[in-house]
Amino acid sequence: MTLKIMVQGTASSVGKSLLVTALCRIFKQDGYSVAPFKSQNMALNSFITEEGLEMGRAQVAQAEAAGLKPMVLMNPVLLKPSSDKNCQVILRGKVHSNMSAQEYQNFKPELLNMIKEDFKELSKNHDIIVIEGAGSPAEINLRERDVVNMGMAEIVNAPVILVGDIDRGGVFASIAGTLLLLKEDEKKRIEGIIINKFRGDIEILKPGIVMLEDIIHKKVLGVIPYTDIRIDEEDGATERFYKNANNGSIDIAVVNLPHISNFTDFDPFERIPDVKLRYINKGDSIGECDVLIIPGTKNTIGDLKALKQYGLFDEIQALRKKGTFIIGICGGYQMLGKTILDPYMIESSVKETEGLGLLDIKTVIEKEKMTTRLRAKIKGNLPKIMKPFEGLDISGYEIHMGETSILSDKPFCTIYERNGVKLEIEDGCESNDGRIFGTYIHGIFENNNFTKAFINMVRKEKGLSAIDEILDYKAYKEREYDALADIVRENTDIKKIYEIMKGYQD
């Protein structure tokens, strides 16, 4: 019989995803076959499976922590916002349609059977399923058609752990207030509380815990200290965009676009010595940097307009004249071109938009989305500065709606495999001097050979010595999963969580 535990939160970004990741690794360490599940995920940071299907990035990290390959069964519904009121609805890894918030709310009841089927199928092969909620179960305006919080817990008869974030303040009030707004049968499902992101002396906190338990009649199962564990994140509420960058001789600046997607593309830079990675937010100037990266986005045309509104358009042109390395990934690659055409008005009401003009390419936004895992080889006959890249074998994934044509510049690489099928197709583009290039390949910097060559290219231009090795990214993530599990195990009553799960066996 499969055991279940569900993690819900008092709000978004209180640590639900991280706690699910930790529990997946803990149960795996204890010898169980465990899988994550989130019925409905809203995130711009997505991933493509080996089958070419799209799912939320958080469930990918959780699957990795559980020692599994990511599967869309773990995330049946993915919502990718394209504006404040509209989103792309992805079901079982494939685009279903674009809907307004109200349209999706009306559509939810049709998802119930699919969610039940996928959970049942996932449960067949695992001892434990760790389920993640979304936002807060106290969003009472959404209760009637809920499929991701208490609605999900009721569907599969799962016990719930409620997580609150003490770092943002008001954790006792947020926990008590959440319980106040739940129905009696929902309250009964909450079997314990975890307080997350604690800084300070636990002895000072303990009296408050006792008082809270007296008020809510629930036990606090753990107080997890604030940690600097580097696990893939999935949404724009992440602190990474606003924290102080580390010092380093190589300054890499990434534009935090309004609809930035797949910002985990740049996580590998955080583990390379002497590299400073920072994000350019609304109101910031880019300043001097060695590398400027324009990342992926769910709305290329809208975010290109934002670059102009932020005053960054002219600043990017000035950096080009100075010889700064400028890179575009996916939507950022499209922005580097001369023109973006939107004939079906998928992203805007304007059919043609002027790009940055830094690469001689044009992009047409198409109706169909390209979602693939791929392998590629960097082209030969590169500009002198890019010679270290020549012939390198790389892997990654594509998620894009546009098709880009090279007008006069050179292609960056040749894709020779998509979703296991052999082919030969050009990707990306590079400038004649090698200081600007773009590609549709997400995850390109997870390739150690490429990232090492890239960093050493920049270091050479600055007159710095080359780095010899960088830590393998997969090994790095495994170490972080184990470190996270250790912290949660040490500060949480894991024995009690096992007892709670066993008490809900069907």
* 3-class state of residue 224 by DSSP: strand
Instruction: Match 């007892």 to its residue by tokens.
Output: 499
Active site residue 259: no
* Distance of alpha carbon 505 from alpha carbon 381, whole angstroms: 63
Instruction: Report CA torsion sign: 454, 459, 461, 466.
Output: negative
Q: Which amino acid is at 345?
A: M
- CB neighbour list of residue 232: distance below 8 Å, 6 or more residues apart: 45, 57, 58, 60, 61, 264, 267, 477
Helices (H) and strands (E) in the chain, counts: 14, 26
CA distance 477 to 367: 35
126 is catalytic: no
Identified catalytic residue from 289, 330, 413, 429: 330
The answer to whether the CB of 319 falls within 8 A of the CB of 292 is yes
Please name the residues in contact with 127: beta carbons below 8 A apart, sequence gap of 6 or more.
2, 3, 27, 32, 33, 34
Q: Which residues share a beta bridge with 246? A: none
* 443 contacts 396 by C-beta, under 8 angstroms: yes
Residue of 126, 259, 400, 442 with catalytic role = 442
**Under 8 Å between Cβ of 37 and 63:** no
Report the relative pairing of strands 275-280 and 220-225 from DSSP bridges: unpaired
Beta bridge partners of 377: 393, 414
Residues 6+ apart with CB under 8 A from 82: 88, 98, 259, 298, 299, 347
Contact 80, 234 (CB under 8 A): no
- State the helix-helix crossing angle for 202-216 and 171-181, rounded to 10 degrees: 20
**Alpha carbon 147 to chain centroid, angstroms:** 21
Measured between alpha carbons, how far is 354 from 336 in angstroms, rounded to an integer? 10
- Tell me which residue of 29, 31, 21 sits closest to 130, measured CA to CA: 21
Q: Which residues are the active-site residues?
A: 330, 442
